[in-house]
Structure 1
């Protein structure tokens, strides 16, 4: 997932009955401002404010550094975009520090700060105002520590933040500035005792063992917190659509809906052609009239003509009474012809007359009936190719295709995959009486990596299956169909272009994870020797972690160990 696709529901996990909460795979616990403030007050009373501030800043530095390292390892696509300055503010908001008003990232070469951020409602400022009133000095200690640790990891060199404006002092906002340690002038001097020598290198060394043990041991899959996401849609009557292609298409559909022009909707099977027809009808002046749909490929020629045009009594054996067809039933409204390419030549001629003359003749009748009907047709085939092959009338083709709307396949609009997945998750929760609240981030990666040959229809079926089979509130990778589980989460080209050796590393590690760390199979699949694979793993620093994981798995199945 890249930065724009990150969602709190994929990163935060929680068991509704309590027990364990984790964020980015890191164990968390809930607290409140009052309890946190009391703890800080006791520390100040016992150790003094200077030592307390240093402890909180240093702990925040380690926390920010560790969060950055976890994202670097678990979400390389998001990390590749981190230098643009969007990921840090998003993480601060997700952690509940406060609301980011603006954040600007520079190159750090000039006299201006490397990072400059304006916050409101930072929890430390609010905590101080509630418990102590106005302060004489800035009080957002954990925030400057967290920002310093995060950016230090990102830059690979020590960065310190200071706070020169704070809402706890009565300022309008909290203003934080960060810069490389060597770039700070005298302004950083009062903060040096607070940071007390903590730097990128010392924290990296201190947390190395934590990270190794974290990766070596099997992860405890937690359940996700219920965020009470309401089942809504961005567009009235249409599921969420974040991609530029779909938003442009829906904007065009709105304009088309206002007039009774014939529309041809094209696209692969499962992209949602009928849903778009419903959207057009709902937003048209005909919305209070019927929308009548028929699949032209589901009936033979005789039955289809009878359904479309109707018949009079005695038109054929068994026609004991007259019956109006679907065209008349749609009078004043919209007729949707799905799989229109399957129409027979004879039916095509009759449909052309309806379009040209605005009248319909029932089977066996000599009279015609005037109809005011808008025709929207759809196909997953090329009507132009059918015309060239002599299988479809050219004049009817042009009549149907006054306006053509092509729905792109889901694989070409990956921005829609996760929003649609969340939409359908909540939909099936309501329909099936379930309480699944989101996707594990690895599940989200699988959804993004799958090619979706069945498009939205396949996605709907996959989410429904997961909702039915999932044992806990969080949708895990094993809840998905095997064809999606077997998808390798390949690095995307979103954001900054990455070096080839980084892409190779991510791919090799993904193959190993997919094959349960079986190096012999991985080497065979990758087309390299086992010795080459071991050499690369040693370069990545992953060999020791893999050995620890293997030893742990052996110990877990031996009795008494």
Structure 2
């Protein structure tokens, strides 16, 4: 049989009903090309490119060597002819063979020089890993190396210099005897040597162990820092007041009624609104938030209800409003107390009729949304003054969730600060892991007029300035550094020495660390101040 007559019918045997498949007498298994691509991706992700390429190279080399043995044994006539090698990979589906040139390999010309089209390796590498800086037909090139080495009974290496996987129009390879390659071969040999791969895998294993250790340390650190007691919400609720708010939010979430979340600016009203959504039957739908106070009245109508093409100058296409965008979910109307009287009428109609009319449209559209509103105003006072419609107030305020200010829940301050510290230090790549005891005292003492938002900003400020792994007093914003002594809470009697310590240290900070001025301001002797500071564990002058 001539090489031109070689096809799969001659060398592939199988039972059409399935079972054992043989290629040139050797048992083979069919694999999906995408599955092989995924294997390449998993090897690369798990062990790195070097080790993955080494494994696939040695696999390809062994495969080529085995095919050479099988061809010599099963088709000795083709083996003697010596031209079958380039035609075997195409028969196995690896690529389509292009121009192929063969020489004796003893001169300057390569032993084999050929072009491959539609390489499955290049295709799968692009699909799963992306464009490469280097040729990626590792298995096919090594297959050719193994086959040629077996045939020539001496070391032959195939190098790919153009590859579709790195953006070239075709895959081009050349094969030479080992001694004919020169320095160019050196960087390819490690992929064929098991000891090189073993070394790479040892390095990978070492790196993995170090990474796992760092992850364990980081996990322990996060467990220390991220002390959010409510794991379902991400909200801190150490205080009894905040626990009651979250419990009530979960309860009302199941009712489907409209909810108004009230509280000062920065207390976390939107997070409570998100909890209501996540705990409701609408959790699978969208949660859409809009700050009504930040959008002018003319734009708010379009934002909420949408518009049709040609409704106004510049309306070149239809636009879906937030009511429709939130269909099947929850629409969060933040700062609803800022909505103008005219807009209140349109909002009321949408809530009553459960339908919206886009600007410029003559037809209304049905919507199914749950409304959760939020405001830092007292809506009852706004209704009494005529600034907020009473009917809209009753439509919105079916259930009220009042979030207490941070100053009324001091038990939440330090846990909240630790949560922010863990998140911000990680995003800023800073090794800040905690607060000094003095800083923790200051955090609890400060009244936090800006509530949780101000606390987060203060922690971010401290992370940016901290030079060590703990936030110290000097890392805090000035307002915090000069916080007054914490007022006594109802039912709590604090020891006199504790109150005295806080007062003396606050005076020292106010005097900028000047002990003479501090002693004079406290009407005590300098020696007395030194003694007290020593008792408090403060550094000597």
Normalised to the residue count of structure 2, the TM-score between the two structures is 0.55
- 1:348 paired residue number: 344
* Pairs within 5 Å for 1:266-277: 266-277=262-273
DSSP 3-state at the match of 1:422: helix
Matches within 5 A, 1:263-342: 263-342=259-338
How far did 1:492 drift? 4.1
Distance 2:364 2:334 in 1: 25
Separation in 2, partners of 1:411, 1:296: 27
Shifted more, 489-498 versus 266-275: the winner is: 489-498
Inter-CA distance 343–459: structure 2 relative to 1 (3 Å threshold): same
Q: Residues 289 and 332 of structure 2 are in contact (CA less than 8 Å); yes or no, is this contact kept in structure 1?
A: yes
Counterpart contact for 1:491–1:506, Cα < 8 Å: no
> What is the CA distance between 1:498 and its match in structure 2?
4.7
- Residue matched to 2:429: 433
Give the drift of 1:275.
1.1
Q: Tell me if structure 2 keeps the 8 A contact 1:239–1:423.
A: no
2:228 touches 2:416 (CA, 8 Å); kept in 1? Answer: no
Q: Equivalent of 2:386, from 384, 390, 406?
A: 390
Unmatched tracts of structure 1, length 5 or more: 1-224, 554-561
* Counterpart in the other structure of 1:478: 474
**Cα deviation code 1:403-442 (max 9, x no counterpart):** 1111110000000001111111111122222222111101
Query: Once the 2 structures are TM-superposed, how far is the Cα of residue 248 of structure 1 from its aligned partner?
Result: 0.4
Distance 1:346 1:552, change over 3 A: closer
Which stretches in structure 2 are left out of the alignment for 5+ residues? Answer: 1-216
Q: 1:453 — aligned with what?
A: 449
Offset at 1:353? Answer: 1.1
Query: What is the root-mean-square deviation in Å for CA atoms of aligned residues?
Result: 2.9
**Alignment of 1:228 onto 2:225:** no
In the alignment, the residues of structure 1 paired with residue 462 and residue 491 of structure 2 have an alpha-carbon distance, to the nearest angstrom, of: 30
Q: 1:405 to 1:331 in 2, by over 3 A?
A: same
490 and 243 in structure 1: CA distance in 2 versus 1, 3 angstrom threshold: closer
Measured in 1, the distance between the counterparts of 2:419 and 2:494 equals 32
Taking a change above 3 Å as real, the CA distance of residues 359 and 503 of structure 1, as seen in their structure-2 partners, is same
258-267 or 513-522, which moves further after superposition? 513-522
CA shift in 2, pair 1:473/1:495, >3 Å: farther
Provide the C-alpha distance between the structure 2 equivalents of 1:350 and 1:257, rounded to a whole number of angstroms. Answer: 26
Matched, 1:360 2:369: no
Distance 1:262 1:474 in 2: 44
In the TM superposition, what is the alpha-carbon distance from 1:545 to its structure 2 partner?
5.9
Shift of 1:281: 1.1
Secondary structure, counterpart of 1:384 in structure 2: helix
Q: Give the match's secondary structure for 2:453.
A: helix
1:518 equivalenced with 2:515 (yes/no) = yes
Mapped contact 1:488–1:511 kept (Cα < 8 A) = no
Whether contact under 8 Å (2:227, 2:415) holds in the other structure is: no
CA distance in 1, matches of 2:540, 2:275: 55
Distance change >3 Å, CA 389–CA 445, structure 1 → 2: same
Query: TM-score of the superposition, structure 1-length normalised?
Result: 0.53
* Rounded Cα–Cα distance in structure 2 between residues aligned with 1:332 and 1:551: 61
User: CA contact under 8 A between 1:348 and 1:393: conserved in structure 2?
Assistant: yes
Between the aligned partners of 1:391 and 1:545, the Cα distance in structure 2 is 57
Check conservation: 2:305, 2:321, Cα contact below 8 A: yes
Matches within 5 A, 1:411-426: 411-426=407-422
1:364 CA displacement: 1.8
Distance apart, 1:366 and its partner CA: 1.8
Query: Secondary structure, in 3 states, of the residue corresponding to 1:317?
Result: coil
Q: Does 1:401 align with 2:397?
A: yes
User: Does residue 240 of the first structure (1) align with residue 233 of the second (2)?
Assistant: no
2:246 pairs with 1:253: no
Q: Work out the CA distance in 1 between the residues paired with 2:498 and 2:468.
A: 35
Alignment-derived partner of residue 64 in structure 1 = none
Structure 2 vs 1, CA of residues 433 and 244 (structure 1 numbering), >3 Å: closer, same or farther?
A: same
Larger radius of gyration: 2
Inter-partner Cα distance in structure 2 for 1:417 and 1:268? 16
Q: Alpha carbons of 1:477 and 1:502: their partners in 2 closer, same or farther (altered >3 Å)?
A: closer
Deviates more, 1:472-481 or 1:541-550: 541-550
TM-aligned CA distance change 1:427 to 1:307, over 3 Å:
same
**Larger relative contact order (CA 8 Å, sep ≥ 6):** 1
Aligned mate of 1:442, from 438, 452, 467: 438
Deviations 1:367-399 (A, max 9, x none): 111111001111111211211121111100111
How far apart, CA to CA, are the structure 2 residues paired with 1:469 and 1:498?
Answer: 33
Aligned CA distance change for structure 1 residues 543 and 426 (closer, same or farther; 3 Å): closer
